[in-house]
Amino acid sequence: SNQHPRIKESVTEEMLLNEHHSIVSLEDVGSFSATYYKNTELEDLITYEGTDLNSVLNLVSKTYSVAIAPRWLVESYSEQLNIKAISLPWEKVERPCYLIWHESTARDKGHLWMKNLLSEVCQN
């Protein structure tokens, strides 16, 4: 929230360890939050588990809870929800991404073309 009393323009790892965290449920397949929270010291700080990032950001906008979310999403809702994006304090911030499709598309020429193109782009 823009009104958060302790977090203004930047955040340290120590600051994050002193906050309540709102996340997308760690049990959801493809949970955005799992990479950052599951089996880490941050997991003990979770006070709210939502089903999606929209509900998490809505809660963050009305409380002093914090959330780790994609910058583009936070920035697109920043005025509407009165929230702000702050860079994470870790040097390297990565997140795995997956492409999943039904086996019936395995021989579809358009799908094969797209799959090959995405593989080439991601390798560069």
20-65, pLDDT tens digit by residue? 999 988 887 767 788 888 888 889 999 999 989 999 999 999 999 9
Q: What is the pLDDT of residue 55?
A: 93
Q: How far apart are CA 110 and CA 27, in angstroms?
A: 33
Residue 24 · residue 49 · CB < 8 Å: yes
Helix (H, G, I), strand (E, B) or coil at 47: strand
pTM here is 0.73
Q: What is the pLDDT of residue 6?
A: 94
pLDDT exceeds cutoff 80 at 93: no
Q: Comparing C-alpha atoms, which of 51, 26, 23 is closest to residue 39?
A: 26
